[in-house]
Structure 1
Amino acid sequence: MASNGLAVPASSNYLENGRYYHGYRRGMYMYPCDEPEKDRMDIYHKLFLVARRDQLHQAPIPHQWEPRILDLGCGTGIWSIDMADRYLNAEVLGLDLVNIQPERIPPNLRFRIPRDYESPWSLGEDSWDLIHLRMGCGSVSSWPELYQKIFAHLRPGYGWIEHVEIDMKPRCDDGTLSRDSALVKWYDYLADATNRVSRPIAYDTGTRALLESAGFIDIQEIVIRAPYNSWPNDPHQKEIGRWYNLGMTEGLDALTFAPLTRVYKWDLQEHVKPLVEMVRREVCNKKIHAYNNMSHSACRHPGSVFAVVVDPIEPTQPMVYPIFRTTTGIPRDPIPLPSYIPPLERFIKMMYYPTSTRLCIRFRIISKGLFSSFRRRSFGSKRISTKGLMISMQDEDDGHDRDTIHIPLDERCFGGGSV
């Protein structure tokens, strides 16, 4: 075991409504960082293990090299520690706003604290095999931007993102939960308050579309019911309900106090605590057959992104630039593609716009990292299944896409190597 090496003073934390909150970027994060909150985080870790039958992760971990694993918003670090213990040859890194991780940790694990994962990263683009994010709802202001950042840091063709959330909207299929129940009202208040500060706790049901828009492929979604208590007859669901009930009853104060007192300006004793007690009674009532949905999403980086820069005056000399840092557009050395000259020349003549001195063609490899293996994927609003490239023309003067074409892909152009 090694020391975590962190030295963030606990004195930076502050007391509010009887709970301690972190002082780093004070007020940005709505939830506490004290001992009861650490217990809640570890309870939810156990809940997810029970729900997934002791599976720590859904995405595959490569064994042919030393994998790099990044845990965003690691909390107590319990998932990071378990992963470091399971994969001894892996490099595991956990990020969080506050130092609530244990002092002794596995030697292949590091924590960087305080770190806000919505701020710019300096973690090495195109280098992570798995980026894990769990229970980020309520702390993320822009999911599209975060997904794009994750996409840029995953290993092209091999890197996976795993995103786990609880959709906290109460659900009931048999009418035992009334629409005017304290639980329903509590969720509506919480969803509205967190949305007002641009960090919605409500799970975005369009998450799959957001992942696709960011460029991910092979999206796997698993939804598991989380009953509020042990009311189901199914043994597995009953066990999930026991742990979820513990997490909910122990965590209601943490979830509720700051949003309703800071945003709504409600009095803690007069309004907030009575509401919390009514909700606590309802989530423990086995006659109410309500539940939440757990969403487990895993998807993969599709491979490298290339750009072809063509001078319309000399269209017979296109140059291909591999762009691995897709968010910044920083190219590596150009690669000439003589075999692409005929289709590109015809296309350039057809698409030439007099206002431009140069046109940029951007395209993605439709592959699993190797040219010889292709998979169906989405590109913009179109879906294609072809052993080739999807090309979009973009005018560099105004940045507008002009048109798209397909070009057959010959792996001999790159010697059949990995992208």
Structure 2
Amino acid sequence: MRLNYPVIFPLNQLTYVGEDDSAFFCQIHGRRFNALSTRYMLPADEEEVRRSELQHKIIQFLFNGKNYVGPIADILSPREGQERCRVLDLGTGGGFWAIDLADEFPSAEVIGVDLAPIQPREVPANCTFELCDLDQFYLPYPSEHFDVIHARFMHTGIENYSRFLHEIARMLRPGGLVILIEPDTEPIADEKSASHFTRSGQPSGMRGWFTLWETYRKCLRDKGIDVNIPPELSNLVASTGAFNRIVSQEGNIPIGFWPKDPVALSIGQLAWMNYDIMLPAMKPLFLSAGMRDWEAKKLIEEAHQDLYYPLVRASSRLHIVHAIKKAK
């Protein structure tokens, strides 16, 4: 079991997080945030770790109890005379995916990377966590070094996602696997998107919910984030020219307790809890964007009202892409 874990900074400086990790955090409008990036504006505290765990459970339900899609098991199977396989989990959050994968594949080396040390200190011997701002021109990892690279729920912290994908392609060995999972930031009600209601002029039944997400998307754009990345994942992966066998999937994630199917209901309950935590976590972003405190409070309260007492069936859309890096 590891009690400390290495930290990689943009200039490839290496240090270790000890018992006092306060230097890696800062306070913004009453919430704890990472100290490495001002672009990613969701907190780094116990509530966000809980939300990371809920997202992890949602994905497990979607993948029928598994933690991944694609041929990971084949790629990470130990082979005689082959060096140890390496896995990189970008935007690891609470570290749940990295830890589960390290447990499932004890012969593989698993590295989880995030902006803040919010992961457990005691982890499997083949799992480590590192700190790095992934929103930079060059990531401090060797070329063709990893067999699997995984990234999910993190595009809102990356200004140039195309550049980010090129870095993934550089770090991945030929024949290696990339897995990307990103949710839309555009809300859905009764299987219709916010843009549909804007065009049609029909009431959504969740005006507070839709207004909050419209505001959130504007704040992301103001910070240089392309909010249209998730639906374009497959095209962006293809545009690198580095991958083949690109497989793209998408589906609606129910939010709340309306689904009749037991699995969908479980996903809906987890998604509801995820957003219940996420709504107040948005407040520092709104305040940093110049919104007055009472305005941010009202915006979040009205969205919460729609979440608690929905008049329509709310959902979100998730985009999942996996691909194999081309052989030379």
TM-score of the superposition, structure 1-length normalised? 0.67
Q: In 1, are the aligned partners of 2:206 and 2:311 still within 8 Å (CA)?
A: no
Name the structure with the higher helix share: 2
Q: How far did 1:127 drift?
A: 2.2
Q: Could you say what secondary structure the match of 2:17 adopts?
A: coil
Query: Residues of 2 paired with 1:204 and 1:79: CA distance?
Result: 20
Asked if 1:2 is matched to 2:26, the reply is: no
Asked if 1:17 is matched to 2:17, the reply is: no
Query: Residues of 1 paired with 2:123 and 2:251: CA distance?
Result: 31
Q: In 2, are the aligned partners of 1:190 and 1:201 still within 8 Å (CA)?
A: no
The CA RMSD over aligned residues, in Å, is 1.9
What is the one-letter code of the residue matched to 2:28?
E
Q: In 1, are the aligned partners of 2:206 and 2:310 still within 8 Å (CA)?
A: no
Matches within 5 A, 1:1-400: 1-5=1-5, 6-7=16-17, 9-25=21-37, 27-61=38-72, 62=75, 63=77, 64=79, 65=82, 66-113=84-131, 115-119=132-136, 120-156=138-174, 158-173=175-190, 178=204, 181-215=207-241, 216-254=243-281, 256-263=282-289, 265-268=290-293, 270-304=294-328
Equivalent residues, number: 298
Kindly tell me: are residues 303 and 251 of structure 1, through their superposed partners in 2, closer, same or farther at Cα, counting changes over 3 Å? same
Q: Could you say what secondary structure the match of 1:132 adopts?
A: strand
Q: Could you say what secondary structure the match of 1:185 adopts?
A: helix
- Unaligned segments of structure 1, at least 5 residues: 305-419
Query: Residues of 2 paired with 1:102 and 1:12: CA distance?
Result: 15
- Unaligned segments of structure 2, at least 5 residues: 6-15, 193-201
Q: In 2, are the aligned partners of 1:21 and 1:33 still within 8 Å (CA)?
A: yes
In our comparison, the structure showing a higher alpha carbon Rg is 1
Q: In 1, are the aligned partners of 2:86 and 2:109 still within 8 Å (CA)?
A: yes
Which residue does 2:11 correspond to in 1?
none
Kindly tell me: are residues 180 and 280 of structure 1, through their superposed partners in 2, closer, same or farther at Cα, counting changes over 3 Å? closer
Q: How far did 1:30 drift?
A: 0.7
Q: What percent identity do the matched residue pairs reach?
A: 24
What is the one-letter code of the residue matched to 1:182?
G
Residues 206-250 of structure 1: per-residue CA shift (max 9 Å, x gap)? 221111011221111222321110212222211110000000001
**Larger relative CO (CA 8 A, sep 6+): 1 or 2?**
2
Q: How far did 1:203 drift?
A: 4.1
Query: Residues of 2 paired with 1:82 and 1:136: CA distance?
Result: 19
Residues 60-81 of structure 1: per-residue CA shift (max 9 Å, x gap)? 1211353210000111211111
Query: Residues of 2 paired with 1:28 and 1:174: CA distance?
Result: 31
Query: Residues of 2 paired with 1:167 and 1:28: CA distance?
Result: 18
What is the one-letter code of the residue matched to 2:272?
N
Kindly tell me: are residues 74 and 22 of structure 1, through their superposed partners in 2, closer, same or farther at Cα, counting changes over 3 Å? same
